[in-house]
Structure 1
C-alpha cells in the first residue's frame, strides 16, 4: 500500500480528487470476461480522457454476476493498467462479510488505492445505526486499506447522514459514495467537513456541487467515458474550469453537453441500463460487449433509436 492505515484519511484528502469513473465490464456472447477489451477501455479512459481514478467491480461492472476469482482478476487488471497514471477503488461489496474481507485483503495485496463497500441488506432491522457502525468498524479493524462507504437504494434503505458521520470517525474510512437525495448529501457534507470525501454519482449535479459545496471528487459512474471522446473532453474541461474558480466558463461548457445527456436519457430503457451503456460505448469506439444473466440485451429497435440519437447529439468523435 502507498500509505499506512493511520494516514489513510490524509492520503485520500490529498490524492482522491477529480473525475473517477465506474467501469462497465465487457463480456462475450457466451458470458466470458473480455480482459483484452477491458484493458483497451482503461487505456482510453486514462490516456485519452485523463480520468483520475477507476471504480472497479461495482454495480456498473455487474459484480453480482461474477465469481470471486473473476472479481479479483478484475481488480488485478485495473491495477496493472492504471499503474501510476490513475488511482483505483475496488468494490469489495458483498452480503457475506468474509467475502468482503477476502476482497479487501486482495485489494491491499495487489496495490489498489482504496476499496468501497456498500451498506448491506438488513432484514427485519429498523434501528440500523448501531448495526451499520459495527459493520464498518469490523471492516476497519481487519483491513488497513482506506475504505469508502456506499449507500444506495438497492440496499433497501438509505444510511442516515448522522450514521454516516459517526462511521466517518473510524480510522480508515476515507470517503462515501452517497447515492441519495441532494438534501441528504448536503447535510452530510456540512457535518463531516473535510474529514472524509463526500460524493455522489449524478453527473447532472457535479458542477453545482463543486460550486456550492466545495467538492473536488466525482465518485463515480459511467458519464466520464460516455460524455467524452479523445477529441471532445467537455466534462474534463468544465471540471477543470470549475476547480479553478471560473464558474462562468464551466457552466457554458457544461450546458453545451445537454444534447448528449438528453440523447442518453431519452433512449435508455428502464430495464436495460447496463446494456444501453455498453452499446453507447460501442458507438464511441470503446469495447461494450454483452451483459450477464439475468440482465436484458437491447433489441435492434432500441439500438437503432440509440444510434440515431447518438449521431445527432453533437458529441465529436
Structure 2
C-alpha cells in the first residue's frame, strides 16, 4: 500500500481528486468476461479522456452477476492497466461479510488505492444506525486500505448525515458515495468539512457542488466516458475551469453538453441502464458487449432509437 492506515485520510485528500468513473464491464455474448475489452476501455479512459480514477466492479460493472474469482481478476486488471496513471477504488460490496473482507484484502494486496463498500441490506432491524456503524467499524478494524461508504436506496434505507459523520471518524474512512437527495449531502458536506470526500453520482450537479460545496471529487458513474471522446472532452474541460474558479466559462461548457445528456436520457429504457450504457459505448468506439442475466439486453428497436439520438447529439468523434 502507498500509505498507512492512519494516513489514509491525508492520502485521499491529496490523491483522490478530479473525475473518477464507474466502469461498465464488457462481457462476450456467451457471457464470458471480456478482459481484453476492459483493458482497451481503460486505456482509452485514462490515456485519451484523462479520467483520474476508476470505480471497479460496482453495480455498473454487474458485480452481482460475477463470481468471486472474476471480481478479484477485475481488480487485478484495473490495477495493471492504471499502473499509477489513474487511481482505483474497488467495490468490495456484498451481503456476505466474509466476502467483503476477502475482496477488501485482495484489493489491498493487489495494489488498489481504495475500496468502496455498499451499506448492507438489513432485515428486522430496529436500530439501523448502530448496526451500520458497527458494520463499517468491523471492516475498518480488519483492513488498512482506505474505505469509501456508499449509501443508496437499494439498501432499503438511506444513511443519515449524522450516521455518516459518525462513521467518518473511523481512521481509514476516506469518502462516501452518497446517492441521496441534495439537501442530505449538502448537510453532510458541512458537517464533515474536508475530513472525508463527499460525492454523488449526478454529473448534472457536479459543477454546482464544486462551486457551492468546494467538492474535489466526482465519485462516480459512467458519464465521464459516455459524454466525452478523445476529440471532445467537455466534462474534463468544465471541471478544470471550475477548479480554477472560472465558473461562468465552466457553466457555458457544461450547458453545451445538454443535447448529449438528453440523447442518453431520452433513449435509456427503464431497467436497462447497463445495456444502454454498453451500446452507447459501442457507438463511441469503445467495447460494450452484452449484459448478464438477470439483466435484459436492448431490443433492436431500442438500439435504433439510441443510434439515431447519438448521431444527432453533437459529440465530436
Question: TM-score by structure 2 length?
Answer: 1.00
Give the CA deviation at 1:125.
1.3
Give the CA deviation at 1:52.
0.2
Write out per-residue CA displacement over residues 269-312 of structure 1, whole angstroms, 9 at most, x where no aligned residue.
Answer: 01211100000000000000000001000000100000000000
Q: 1:180 — aligned with what? A: 180
Q: 2:296 — aligned with what? A: 296
Task: Please tell me whether residue 207 in structure 1 is matched to residue 194 in structure 2.
Answer: no
Secondary structure in structure 1 of the residue aligned to 2:194: coil
Q: For the residues of structure 1 that align with 2:15 and 2:165, how far apart are their CA atoms?
A: 21
Secondary structure in structure 1 of the residue aligned to 2:147: strand
Give the CA deviation at 1:255.
0.4
Task: Please tell me whether residue 305 in structure 1 is matched to residue 275 in structure 2.
Answer: no
Give the CA deviation at 1:135.
0.4
Matches of residues 1-317 of structure 1 in structure 2 within 5 Å?
1-317=1-317
Gaps of at least 5 residues in structure 1 are none
Q: For the residues of structure 2 that align with 1:132 and 1:260, how far apart are their CA atoms?
A: 38
Give the CA deviation at 1:31.
0.5
Q: For the residues of structure 2 that align with 1:106 and 1:100, how far apart are their CA atoms?
A: 10
Gaps of at least 5 residues in structure 2 are none
Give the CA deviation at 1:197.
0.3
Give the CA deviation at 1:124.
1.2
Secondary structure in structure 1 of the residue aligned to 2:205: helix
Q: For the residues of structure 2 that align with 1:105 and 1:197, how far apart are their CA atoms?
A: 22
Q: For the residues of structure 1 that align with 2:93 and 2:5, how far apart are their CA atoms?
A: 20
Give the CA deviation at 1:126.
3.3
Secondary structure in structure 2 of the residue aligned to 1:209: helix
Q: For the residues of structure 1 that align with 2:35 and 2:154, how far apart are their CA atoms?
A: 28
Q: For the residues of structure 2 that align with 1:44 and 1:168, how far apart are their CA atoms?
A: 34
Secondary structure in structure 2 of the residue aligned to 1:90: strand
Secondary structure in structure 2 of the residue aligned to 1:103: helix
Count, aligned residues: 317
Runs of 4+ in 1 over 2 A off after TM superposition: none
Q: For the residues of structure 1 that align with 2:250 and 2:123, how far apart are their CA atoms?
A: 44
Q: For the residues of structure 2 that align with 1:156 and 1:28, how far apart are their CA atoms?
A: 32
Give the CA deviation at 1:127.
2.3
Write out per-residue CA displacement over residues 57-78 of structure 1, whole angstroms, 9 at most, x where no aligned residue.
Answer: 0000000000000000000000
Write out per-residue CA displacement over residues 138-197 of structure 1, whole angstroms, 9 at most, x where no aligned residue.
Answer: 000000000000000111111010000000000000000000000000000000011000
